[in-house]
Structure 1
Amino acid sequence: MYSKILVAVDGSESAAQALTEALRLCAALGAGLTVVHVIDNSYLRYEVGYVDLTDLRTSLIDAGQMLLDEAKAKAAASQVKCTTLMIDEVLALGDVATAIEQAARQAGAELLVVGTHGRRGVRRLLMGSVAEGLVRQCRLPVLLVHAPVPKVKADAEPAQ
């Protein structure tokens, strides 16, 4: 079935769920896993005056490396062969979906696993959707994994 799977992580709960699902698939199929994190450089589109962005870039890279290190540790705990990849392409200016698709092609992935927040309406319009971009443009199969739904307290009163 699938021998190479790529999962994208960004620190969100839905990406954590996508990693868990990708690890389950890899363990069941004996597949290798590539974990990718894309530094979102979209902040470079906006005029920020005379602010030094060096610290911001450094913190984005450090946070991305931490995510990749954590993912690699989870893969090792699941006995899944794993490689990691950080993409920091300044010229992409926030086109995260294209960067992930290119990484998947370069890694020889046969399945792409990504988390989705399930945003709709104005929230999706304003924030965009990497997952939607991948589903629209990617020629690989894409598995979308939703973040867990928050649990409602049992003693909450029903809405009227």
Structure 2
Amino acid sequence: MAANSDLALAEAVHIGKACGSEIAIVHVIDNTYLRCDPLLFAPDDLRKALREDGEALLKAARERVEAERIPCATRLRDEPAAIGEISTVVEQAAQECGAELLVIGTHGRHGIRRILLGSVAEALVGHSRLPVLLVRR
């Protein structure tokens, strides 16, 4: 799990314990690889590997939450999304779970790096109907 996601999960566990809440963990697979030339690599193999990695991340996160005796649900999202639309997929999953708060890690990028790499966290803050807690690395 990436350091910023790990910190966000720790904060979600802290809040979940304090509020007696269930935690829903969402992992969205970035499907930008679908726009690449299939002659360079096998998209089905890459998709399978990304799904397996996502499932492993979710399993480890769920075990960590459940070790704290907090109810936990996980969701793996693999639908093709337009570039920059991962935040929309996260928001939809949160609504399906009945979430009341989004806790998301952020890299804290600035300047040209933020422009080039985008920010799922920033997009969520801008359009989510739910409160968003950003946990910065």
Give the deviation of 1:74 after TM superposition.
0.5
How far apart are the structure 2 equivalents of 1:44 and 1:93?
Answer: 10
Bigger Cα Rg: 1
Give the deviation of 1:12 after TM superposition.
1.7
Structure 1, unpaired ranges of 5+? 1-10, 148-160
Tell me the residue number matched to 1:120. 110
TM-score, scaled relative to structure 1: 0.81
How far apart are the structure 1 equivalents of 2:77 and 2:123?
Answer: 17
Q: Which of 10, 15, 25 is 1:20 aligned to?
A: 10
Counterpart code for 2:134: L
- Sequence identity (%): 46
How far apart are the structure 2 equivalents of 1:108 and 1:142?
Answer: 14
Give the deviation of 1:87 after TM superposition.
0.5
1 or 2, which has the higher helix percentage? Answer: 2
Q: Which of 64, 68, 79 is 2:69 aligned to?
A: 79
Write out the 4+ residue segments of structure 1 that deviate beyond 6 Å after TM superposition. none
Counterpart code for 2:76: M
In the alignment, does 2:134 pair up with 1:144?
yes
Tell me the residue number matched to 1:53. 43
Q: Is the 8 A contact 1:18 1:115 kept in 2?
A: yes
Match of 1:145, SS state, is strand
Tell me the residue number matched to 2:98. 108
Match of 1:64, SS state, is helix
Q: Which of 99, 122, 125 is 1:135 aligned to?
A: 125
Counterpart code for 1:60: L
Counterpart code for 1:78: E
Residue correspondences, number? 136
Comparing 46-55 with 28-37, greater Cα deviation is found at 46-55
Give the deviation of 1:55 after TM superposition.
1.5
Give the RMSD, CA atoms, in angstroms: 1.2
Tell me the residue number matched to 2:89. 99
